[in-house]
Amino acid sequence: MSTIMLDEEQQSRVIEMAWEDRTPFEAIEKLFGLPEKEVIKLMRKNLKHKTFKNWRARVSGRKTKHLSLRPEGVDRGYCPSQYKVKSANK
């Protein structure tokens, strides 16, 4: 059991970040204090069994989920065009 207590909104955000391919586990730990093992426990607890298995298979060993595996110089968690400001004139 985790010693870190997260409210429902925080848990939802951790799950969202864990699903994102480009957000490293280290970013989740920095923001919420949950190391990778605790994120895995949280995901196991909150996802259906098959969904959890698919997520684990996808993120295991993925270079973008671990800062130490990323190429040198890549320090962002998202693509620069990912969060474009939407124009009000459209």
Residue 25 maps to a domain: yes
Cβ–Cβ < 8 Å for 36, 25: yes
Q: Which domain holds residue 21?
A: 8-69
Using the 8-state DSSP alphabet, how is residue 77 labeled? S
Over residues 52-71, the pLDDT tens digits come to: 999 999 888 777 666 665 55
Cα 5 from Cα 23, distance rounded (Å): 21
Residue 80 maps to a domain: no
Cβ–Cβ < 8 Å for 14, 34: yes
- Structural domain tally of the chain? 1
Q: Look at the pTM and tell me if it is higher than 0.85.
A: no
Over residues 5-22, the pLDDT tens digits come to: 899 999 999 999 999 888
> Does residue 20 come out as left (phi exceeding 0), alpha (psi in the -120 to 50 range) or beta?
beta
